[in-house]
């Protein structure tokens, strides 16, 4: 009872002060004797009630020194001389200043003692800290402060919050203040049911994990209307959360799927179209990533201004580097092994060892730093999920690469020749197609695309000599799952594996999820040995 | 009508192989145990363990050759069976440590105490008994191979598809064994073994005995493989390798045959792993790495697939080279060499060392025979000629007359 | 219904209303065919008529989309796989001779021999006197006795054909499906093959022969079925069939 009696007047005064302040928009003029000085002096009054009132006033004054004083109070470094009504701050290094003015003082007066705190006051102090920033001129700070009030729902800052809410022009900040206010009202014992129900509605509209936590934390003993309001709001939020977590998983899945697709497209050409088992495919990806690294190094040392364009420069280069090495490999090794898939597998595994070791020797065994250009860093919020730009760009990039490849196979003469050679080599040869040139170019194309994939993957993965190893099994799984020789199958395969993986992860954990996916694919291959979209007919058996 | 199983299994190269193996298996341990340290012929213990390791690898290679060389199943996951056998043995060795561990827990191995296990997981029961562990060395890899093979072969997953899913299998196991809560020591695996059947694993005598056992296992494994491949079943396996669907049309249940050799082969790999672990003193999830399995395949390719002797030889040669190079100044180049080995063997020596040698030997024999035949022919020709000449002479003389 | 029952039970091979399509291409269309026990039938038809596909269906390589395939009056072949069908006693010689190239001729015959084909059986199998005799006899018939230790891969095309026929003999099935047996053979050999098939048929074996060589078909002197676009175009003696207008039309092209 005394508490309430004490609070009431202070509250109304506080409210008034805060309002005034907000209109003035941060009083910076140091008045000689005003609310601020009164507030400081009140710390010397001695009783807990006075201290509490002083804190409130101090916050409302929004004086630049208010924060310093509050911090000192919190740390027990605020000393008051009850007789002189002066207050001092003892800095950590022992120097003493006058709390109100900040002027240095030789020493603490003998009578000065530390301003005492009890638990209730401690809460008021931390609320006050938040209250101070609620009125900050910096928009982000204001929003942050409002959010922290939302969590602490400290009654003492209610007036400040309300004042800030009224004054606020920015929509996001206004929203944050409204939510903070709702949180406080919900926990305020003497708030009316109407207020509380309104508050619940606001919190429900927020609908996130924190809103859920807040509602769960409401103490028991509310009126029936409020209790049922809370229950239904919780249910609604839960549904909302479930929905958003689905959306989130789907997005992560799409993102993983795009990475898988990117890594697998090249393989879909070399393995899917040509039937060559290239175990060095992952190393082509790695070469692409290292090309990006080299490009960025060159740019950093010579033309730092071009850094944002580094990836644009790296893409064609990576294609050329990986493609050229692919052609070299095809001409020097693979062409002697056509029709002997198991031998091809072993030889290309050997090539992958050589490439890894070569990169290790040239660039060292550790991770290399590849930076994100500015347009790829950062993130934005979409509803309740955060979308990072690099993931979004990679998704777009992957789809673009896929589309270009598809168009290439369909509309260019190389694409036509490629399809002819893979469907019937001898026939194609007798029609005057230089099959060995087409083989080399096809393999080069597949490898080049792997190189491009490396550029993109360098943005989200560690660039190390082992980069390729981590993708090879996944890529094969994607191609086999989607159905060999079918690019659309690879697309569907990559995205369904990516999404399945991300939906399993929360249930089973990352590693078990991955194991589960591998086991599922193994089982799937039993059911449909030739993949999701298998080609049929005699061509396959030959 | 057909020769007895033993005479059938032991052709000349098989006999030579077994004799050499027996000689090594007896002489090396004897030299290690009986000859004094300084002696020229003394084989130090570390070499015994090293050779023991090679012999285990040879057994693994043999198991791969049985399915790849004779049945065309290229498993890129045989390291998994090897590692499972190794883990079964490692679990026994772990439980033998008892109170001598850092935490001196009589039941729980150190890592479990460290990870706050309250009691032994059920799948560790029984591993304090050697016979049980020995049984598991065969059963666990065998069962996995059986289940995996049953699914894969029945759905006619063949060729590279099979290779890729075997690789995925070992990869999945790799991920699983890396987890601490999987109950096999996670990242660190099982190590710090103290004794086996009451003998100190570090002692010279134990090491020599393990070496002898490994040689014995290799010999027995080799005989089993020979018996299999020289039986009619061996012919069926080759038929499956060369023309799988044709074999079906003759009424053979191809998947049963594949399942049989695949499981047999996995059991052999498991035994190899079980003997390997006490000799190297550790088993960790790294053994499941897909790279290991592929490396084992290349041993077989180097030695010559489908020859058995070649597989064992290849394992020993490649691993010896690995030891030599990775411990010398050439260490950074070892992976280059290994990679080049993969490429060169497949391109230039597709039959492997033994296969090429055999072809050359056959060729020489044929040439010899051809020469013999030619000689015989020319001899008869000469005889005929001389006869004719004689006739002529006679004629001439007659004419003269 | 009862009529159908009696017919299916008496026939050795009974196909009715069989359809197969590959990616929308109808290779077999409402194909019906009945072979009595001990009958020999020659099947002719232009390239792509579906003759080989028909054999694929009978031997379980291809599953029909629709239709009945009954063997020996009781067994529904569409439910069985290749192994089971072969074990029932249906042997096949492929159009493209498929022998086990890296094994000797003798081993090829050994593999075909109709003894226990299960794993345990083959693992512990040992050749008995009668089995050796049988292999010798087959080698004699196919005139490869001198080459018994040669690798099958080293044989000429015609010799491979003979070896495959030899494998059929060793297999000793009730129903033989022989796809183009005389392609690549000389006239004399063609004649010998015809004699051999007639001889086999005379031992109560049911035989289906697919062949393009008309002299050979004529020499067999059996009922002929002409397939076209997956259906039976004509059936009868060789003279009837070759006089049939539509047959002439499909052979000469429209
Ligand atoms: N597995 C398959 N996939 C796609 N098409 C097939 C398949 N099997 C057969 N066909 C098609 O079915 C048709 C019939 O083929 P089939 O081999 O049965 O002809 P055939 O009568 O044996 O001809 P030939 O006299 O040339 O041997 C052909 O057009 C062929 O291309
Ligand atoms: Mg045909």
Q: Would you call A473 and B290 a contact, using CB atoms and an 8 Å cutoff? A: yes
**Looking at the domain assignment, is residue A282 inside a domain?**
yes
Residue C23 near chain A (CB below 8 Å): yes
Same domain, B364 and B227: no
pLDDT for A44-55, tens place per residue?
A: 887 888 888 888
Q: Give the separation between CA A264 and CA A285, rounded to whole angstroms.
A: 10
- For the ranges B211-215, C156-160, C200-204, the maximum mean pLDDT occurs at B211-215
At residue A17, does pLDDT exceed 90? Answer: no
The chain A residue lying nearest B244, using CA atoms, is A541
- Average pLDDT estimate for C137-154: 89
pLDDT score, position A351: 94
Task: Mark out the alpha helices in C15-59 (DSSP H runs).
Answer: 51-58
Pick from A321-325, A515-519, A525-529, C23-27: least confident: A525-529
Same domain, B99 and B239: yes
At residue C8, does pLDDT exceed 60? Answer: no
**Looking at the domain assignment, is residue A228 inside a domain?**
no
**Looking at the domain assignment, is residue A359 inside a domain?**
yes
Q: Which chains touch C (3 or more CB pairs under 8 A)?
A: A, B
Number of independent structural domains in chain B: 2
**Looking at the domain assignment, is residue A461 inside a domain?**
yes
**Looking at the domain assignment, is residue A231 inside a domain?**
no
Same domain, B153 and B65: yes
pLDDT score, position A435: 85
At residue B382, does pLDDT exceed 70? Answer: no
Among A353, A514, A515, select the one facing B339 at the smallest CB separation: A353
pLDDT score, position C253: 66
The residue nearest atom 10 of ligand 1, judged by CA position, is C27
Q: Taken in order A44, A47, A51, A53, is the CA torsion positive or negative? A: negative
Using 50, 70 and 90 to split pLDDT, how confident is the model at C139? very high
Same domain, A96 and A134: no
The domain of A207 spans 121-222
Using 50, 70 and 90 to split pLDDT, how confident is the model at C254? low
- For the ranges A403-417, B11-25, B268-282, C176-190, the maximum mean pLDDT occurs at B268-282
Q: Which residue has the higher pLDDT, C187 or A136?
A: C187
Using 50, 70 and 90 to split pLDDT, how confident is the model at B386? low
Same domain, A111 and A133: no
Tokens of A511: 């590693």
Q: Are A493 and B188 in contact (CB under 8 A)?
A: no
Tokens of B170: 């070992």
Q: Are B9 and B227 in contact (CB under 8 A)?
A: yes
The ligand 1 atom at the shortest distance from the C-alpha of residue C49 is: 21
From A187, A186, A206, select the one nearest A197 (Cα to Cα): A186
Using 50, 70 and 90 to split pLDDT, how confident is the model at B366? confident
The chain B residue lying nearest A511, using CA atoms, is B175
Same domain, A112 and A127: no
pLDDT score, position A433: 84
Q: Which residues of B touch C (CB under 8 A)?
A: 1-2, 228, 231-233, 235-236, 238-239, 242-243, 245-254, 256-257, 260
**Looking at the domain assignment, is residue B307 inside a domain?**
no
The ligand 1 atom at the shortest distance from the C-alpha of residue C95 is: 27
At residue A539, does pLDDT exceed 60? Answer: no
Q: Which residue has the higher pLDDT, A426 or A26?
A: A426
* CA distances for C209 relative to A207, C45, C201, C221, angstroms: 77, 12, 11, 12
The residue nearest atom 3 of ligand 1, judged by CA position, is A537
pLDDT score, position A418: 83
pLDDT for A513-524, tens place per residue?
A: 877 887 888 788
At residue A5, does pLDDT exceed 80? Answer: no
Q: Which residue has the higher pLDDT, B366 or B212?
A: B212
DSSP B280-345: HTEE-GGGG-HHHHHHHHHHHHHH-TT-SHHHHHHHHHHHHHHHHHHTSTTGGGHHHHHHHHHHHH
Same domain, A108 and A157: no
pLDDT score, position A4: 42
**Looking at the domain assignment, is residue B328 inside a domain?**
no
Q: Are A149 and A125 in contact (CB under 8 A)?
A: no
Same domain, B61 and B177: yes
**Looking at the domain assignment, is residue B185 inside a domain?**
yes
pLDDT for A264-288, tens place per residue?
A: 988 888 887 777 888 999 999 999 9
The domain of B234 spans 2-289
Q: Would you call C118 and B246 a contact, using CB atoms and an 8 Å cutoff? A: no
- Average pLDDT estimate for C222-247: 90
Q: Which chains touch B (3 or more CB pairs under 8 A)?
A: A, C
pLDDT for C27-50, tens place per residue?
A: 999 999 999 999 999 999 988 899
Using 50, 70 and 90 to split pLDDT, how confident is the model at B156? confident
Count of residues making up chain A: 542
pLDDT score, position A541: 41
pLDDT score, position B392: 41
DSSP for residue C149 = T
Q: Which residue has the higher pLDDT, A348 or B5?
A: A348
pLDDT score, position A494: 92
Examine the fold and report which residue of A92, A117, A142 is the final residue of a domain before the chain moves on.
A117
Using 50, 70 and 90 to split pLDDT, how confident is the model at B322? very high
**Looking at the domain assignment, is residue A504 inside a domain?**
yes
pLDDT score, position B380: 63
**Does residue C49 line the site of ligand 1, with CB under 6 A?**
yes
Examine the fold and report which residue of A59, A94, A117 is the final residue of a domain before the chain moves on.
A117
Strand, helix or coil for residue C68: strand
Same domain, A372 and A353: yes
Among A336, A350, A515, select the one facing B172 at the smallest CB separation: A515
Same domain, A63 and A142: no
Give percent of chain A above pLDDT 90: 19
Among A277, A333, A518, select the one facing B172 at the smallest CB separation: A518
**Does residue C22 line the site of ligand 1, with CB under 6 A?**
yes
Pick from A9-23, A460-474, C232-246: least confident: A9-23
At residue A132, does pLDDT exceed 50? Answer: yes
Same domain, A484 and A343: yes
Pick from A220-224, B312-316, C154-158: least confident: A220-224
What letters, b where the CB count within 10 A reaches 16 and e where it falls short, cover B50-67? bbbbbbbbbbbbbbbbbb
Number of independent structural domains in chain A: 3
Using 50, 70 and 90 to split pLDDT, how confident is the model at A535? low
Q: Which residue has the higher pLDDT, C230 or A131?
A: C230
pLDDT for C69-109, tens place per residue?
A: 999 888 899 999 999 999 999 999 998 888 999 999 999 99
- Average pLDDT estimate for B306-323: 94
pLDDT score, position C1: 40
Same domain, A366 and A390: yes
At residue B303, does pLDDT exceed 70? Answer: yes
Contacts of A346 (CB under 8 A, 6+ apart): B294, B297, B298, B301, B342, B345, B346
* CA distances for A369 relative to A293, A469, B335, angstroms: 7, 19, 25
Examine the fold and report which residue of A73, A101, A117 is the final residue of a domain before the chain moves on.
A117
pLDDT for A54-94, tens place per residue?
A: 887 887 776 777 778 888 888 888 888 888 788 888 888 88
Examine the fold and report which residue of B289, B308, B327 is the final residue of a domain before the chain moves on.
B289
The ligand 1 atom at the shortest distance from the C-alpha of residue C48 is: 19
Gap from CA of C202 to ligand 2 centroid (Å)? 26
pLDDT for A291-320, tens place per residue?
A: 999 999 999 999 888 888 889 999 999 999
Q: Are A38 and A57 in contact (CB under 8 A)?
A: yes
Work out whether strand C206-210 and strand C40-44 pair parallel, antiparallel, or are unpaired. parallel
Same domain, A299 and A411: yes
At residue B235, does pLDDT exceed 90? Answer: yes
DSSP for residue C70 = E
At residue A28, does pLDDT exceed 90? Answer: no
- Chain B hits for C92, CB-CB cut-off 8 Å, are 249
Task: Quote the mean pLDDT of chain A.
Answer: 82
Using 50, 70 and 90 to split pLDDT, how confident is the model at A381? confident
Residue A356 near chain B (CB below 8 Å): yes
**Does residue C251 line the site of ligand 1, with CB under 6 A?**
no
**Looking at the domain assignment, is residue A2 inside a domain?**
no
Q: Which residue has the higher pLDDT, A532 or A379?
A: A379
- Average pLDDT estimate for A245-253: 88
How far is C-alpha A273 from the chain's CA centre?
Answer: 38
The chain C residue lying nearest A535, using CA atoms, is C23
Q: Give the separation between CA B49 and CA A263, rounded to whole angstroms.
A: 43
**Looking at the domain assignment, is residue B301 inside a domain?**
no
Q: How many CB pairs under 8 A join A and C?
A: 5
Same domain, A435 and A342: yes
The chain A residue lying nearest B345, using CA atoms, is A347
**Looking at the domain assignment, is residue A94 inside a domain?**
yes
Q: Which chains touch A (3 or more CB pairs under 8 A)?
A: B, C
Q: How far off is chain B from A514, nearest CA to CA, in Å? A: 8
Q: Give the separation between CA B254 and CA B239, rounded to whole angstroms.
A: 10
Assign 3-class secondary structure to A476-498. HHHHHHHCCCCHHHHHHHHHHHH
Pick from A179-188, A480-489, C122-131: least confident: A480-489
Q: Would you call A525 and B161 a contact, using CB atoms and an 8 Å cutoff? A: yes
Task: Quote the mean pLDDT of chain C.
Answer: 88
Same domain, A326 and A423: yes
pLDDT score, position B381: 59
- Chain A hits for C22, CB-CB cut-off 8 Å, are 536-538
Q: How far off is chain A from C22, nearest CA to CA, in Å? A: 6
Same domain, B231 and B380: no
Among B155, B163, B179, select the one facing A511 at the smallest CB separation: B179
From C172, C173, C149, C147, select the one nearest C158 (Cα to Cα): C147
Gap from CA of C227 to ligand 1 centroid (Å)? 12
- Average pLDDT estimate for B74-81: 95
Q: Are A276 and A347 in contact (CB under 8 A)?
A: no
- Chain A hits for B336, CB-CB cut-off 8 Å, are 353-354, 357-358
At residue B395, does pLDDT exceed 50? Answer: no
Tokens of B9: 């299994």
Same domain, A508 and A454: yes
* CA distances for A23 relative to A36, A135, A166, angstroms: 17, 11, 10
pLDDT for A393-409, tens place per residue?
A: 999 999 999 999 999 88
Gap from CA of A455 to ligand 2 centroid (Å)? 51
**Looking at the domain assignment, is residue B145 inside a domain?**
yes
Among C100, C114, C129, select the one facing B239 at the smallest CB separation: C100
At residue C190, does pLDDT exceed 70? Answer: yes
């Amino acid at each position: 009872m005394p508490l309430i009696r004490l609070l009431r007047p202070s509250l109304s005064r506080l409210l008034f002060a805060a309002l005034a302040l907000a209109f003035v928009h941060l009083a910076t003029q140091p008045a000689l004797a005003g609310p601020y000085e009164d507030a400081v002096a009140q710390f010397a009054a001695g009783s807990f009630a006075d201290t509490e009132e002083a804190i409130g006033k101090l916050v409302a004054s929004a004086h630049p020194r208010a924060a310093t004083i509050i911090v000192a109070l919190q740390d027990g470094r605020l000393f008051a001389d009850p007789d002189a009504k002066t207050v001092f701050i003892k800095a950590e290094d022992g120097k003493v200043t006058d709390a109100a003015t900040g002027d240095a003082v030789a020493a603490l007066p003998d009578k000065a003692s530390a301003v005492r705190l009890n638990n209730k006051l401690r809460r008021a102090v931390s609320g006050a800290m938040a209250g101070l920033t609620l009125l900050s001129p910096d928009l982000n700070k204001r929003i942050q402060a409002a959010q922290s009030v939302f969590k602490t729902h400290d009654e003492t800052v209610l007036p400040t919050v309300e004042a800030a809410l009224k004054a606020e022009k920015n929509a996001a900040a206004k929203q944050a203040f409204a939510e903070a206010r709702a949180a406080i009202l919900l926990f305020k014992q003497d708030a009316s049911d109407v207020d509380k129900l309104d508050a619940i509605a606001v919190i429900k509209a927020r609908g996130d994990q924190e809103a859920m936590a807040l509602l769960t934390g409401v103490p028991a003993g509310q009126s029936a209307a409020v209790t049922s309001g809370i229950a239904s709001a919780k249910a609604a939020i839960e549904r909302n959360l479930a929905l958003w977590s689905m959306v989130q998983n789907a997005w992560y899945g799409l993102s993983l799927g795009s990475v898988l697709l990117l890594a697998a497209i090249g393989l879909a050409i070399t393995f899917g179209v040509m039937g060559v088992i290239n175990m060095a495919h992952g190393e082509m990806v790695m070469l692409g990533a290292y090309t990006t690294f080299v490009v960025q190094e060159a740019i950093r040392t010579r033309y730092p201004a071009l850094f944002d364009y580094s990836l644009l420069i790296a893409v064609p280069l990576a294609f050329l580097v990986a493609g050229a090495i692919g052609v070299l490999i095809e001409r020097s090794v693979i062409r002697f092994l056509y029709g002997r898939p198991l031998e091809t597998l072993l030889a290309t595994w050997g090539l992958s060892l050589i490439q890894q070791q070569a990169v290790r020797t040239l660039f060292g065994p550790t991770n290399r730093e590849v930076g994100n250009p500015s347009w790829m860093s950062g993130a934005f919020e979409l509803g309740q999920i955060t979308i990072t730009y690099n993931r979004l760009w990679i998704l777009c990039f992957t789809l673009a690469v896929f589309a270009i490849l598809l168009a290439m196979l369909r509309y260019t003469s190389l694409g036509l020749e490629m399809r002819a050679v893979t469907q019937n080599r001898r026939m194609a040869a007798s029609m005057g197609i230089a099959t060995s040139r087409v083989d080399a170019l096809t393999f080069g194309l597949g490898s080049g695309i792997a190189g491009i994939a490396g550029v993109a993957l360098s943005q989200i993965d560690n660039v190390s000599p082992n980069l390729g190893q981590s993708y090879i099994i996944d890529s094969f799984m994607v191609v086999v799952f989607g159905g060999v020789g079918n690019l659309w199958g690879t697309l569907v395969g990559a995205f369904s594996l990516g999404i399945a993986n991300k939906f399993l992860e929360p249930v089973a954990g990352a590693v078990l999820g991955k194991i589960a996916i591998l086991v599922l694919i193994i089982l799937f291959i039993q059911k449909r040995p030739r993949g999701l979209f298998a080609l049929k007919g005699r061509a396959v058996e030959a | 009508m057909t020769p007895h199983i033993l005479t059938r299994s032991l052709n000349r190269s098989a006999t030579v192989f077994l004799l050499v193996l027996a000689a090594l298996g007896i002489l090396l341990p004897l030299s290690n145990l009986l000859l004094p340290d300084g002696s020229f012929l003394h084989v130090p213990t570390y070499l015994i363990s090293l050779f023991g390791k090679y012999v285990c690898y040879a057994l693994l290679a043999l198991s791969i050759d049985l399915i790849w060389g004779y049945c065309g199943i290229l498993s890129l996951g045989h390291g998994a069976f090897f590692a499972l056998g190794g883990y079964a043995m490692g679990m026994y060795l772990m439980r033998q440590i008892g109170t001598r561990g850092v935490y001196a827990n009589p039941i729980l191995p150190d890592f479990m105490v460290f990870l706050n296990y309250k009691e032994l997981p059920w799948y560790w029961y029984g591993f304090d008994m050697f016979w049980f562990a020995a049984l598991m060395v065969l059963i666990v890899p065998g069962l996995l191979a059986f289940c995996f093979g049953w699914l894969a072969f029945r759905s006619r997953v063949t060729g590279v598809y099979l290779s890729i899913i075997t690789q995925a299998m070992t990869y999945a196991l790799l991920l699983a064994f890396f987890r601490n809560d999987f109950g096999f020591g996670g990242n660190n695996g099982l190590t710090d073994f103290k004794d086996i059947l009451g003998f100190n694993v570090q002692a010279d005598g134990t090491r020599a005995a393990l070496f002898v056992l490994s040689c014995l296992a290799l010999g027995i494994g080799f005989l089993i493989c020979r018996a299999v491949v020289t039986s009619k079943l061996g012919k069926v396996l080759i038929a499956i390798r060369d023309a799988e669907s044709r074999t079906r049309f003759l009424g053979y249940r191809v998947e049963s045959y594949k399942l049989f050799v695949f499981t047999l082969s996995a059991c052999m790999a498991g035994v190899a792993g079980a003997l390997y672990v006490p000799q190297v003193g550790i088993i960790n999830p790294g053994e499941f790495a897909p790279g290991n399995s592929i490396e084992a395949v290349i041993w077989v390719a180097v030695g010559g697939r489908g020859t058995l002797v070649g597989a064992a030889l290849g394992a020993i040669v490649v691993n010896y080279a690995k030891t030599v190079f990775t411990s010398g100044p050439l260490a950074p180049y070892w992976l280059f060499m290994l990679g080049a080995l993969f490429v060169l063997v497949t391109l230039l020596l597709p039959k492997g060392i033994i296969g090429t040698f055999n072809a050359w030997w056959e060729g020489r024999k044929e040439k010899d025979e051809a020469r013999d035949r030619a000689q015989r022919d020319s001899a008869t020709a000469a005889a005929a000629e001389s006869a004719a000449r004689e006739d002529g002479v006679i004629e001439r003389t007659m004419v003269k007359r | 219904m009862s009529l159908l029952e009696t017919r299916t039970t008496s026939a050795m091979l009974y196909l009715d209303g069989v359809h197969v399509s590959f990616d929308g291409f109808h290779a077999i269309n409402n194909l019906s065919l009945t072979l009595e026990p001990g009958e020999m039938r020659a099947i002719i038809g232009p390239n792509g008529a579906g003759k080989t596909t028909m054999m694929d269906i009978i031997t379980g390589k291809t599953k029909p989309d629709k239709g009945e395939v009954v063997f020996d009056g009781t067994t529904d072949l569409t439910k069985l796989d290749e192994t089971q069908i072969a074990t029932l006693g249906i042997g096949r010689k492929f159009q493209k001779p498929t022998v086990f190239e890296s094994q000797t001729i003798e081993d090829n015959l050994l593999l075909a021999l109709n003894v226990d084909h299960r794993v345990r059986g083959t693992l512990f199998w040992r050749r008995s006197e009668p089995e050796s005799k049988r292999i010798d006899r087959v080698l004699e018939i196919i005139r490869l006795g001198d080459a018994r230790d040669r690798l099958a891969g080293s044989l000429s095309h015609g010799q491979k054909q003979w070896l495959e026929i030899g494998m059929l003999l060793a297999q000793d099935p009730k129903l033989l499906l022989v796809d183009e047996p005389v392609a690549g053979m000389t006239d004399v050999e063609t004649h010998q093959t015809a004699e051999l098939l007639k001889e086999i048929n005379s031992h109560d074996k049911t035989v289906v022969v697919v062949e393009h060589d008309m002299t050979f078909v004529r020499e067999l002197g059996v009922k002929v079925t002409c397939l076209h676009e997956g259906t039976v175009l004509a059936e009868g003696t060789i003279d009837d069939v070759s006089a049939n207008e539509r047959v002439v039309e499909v052979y000469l092209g429209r």
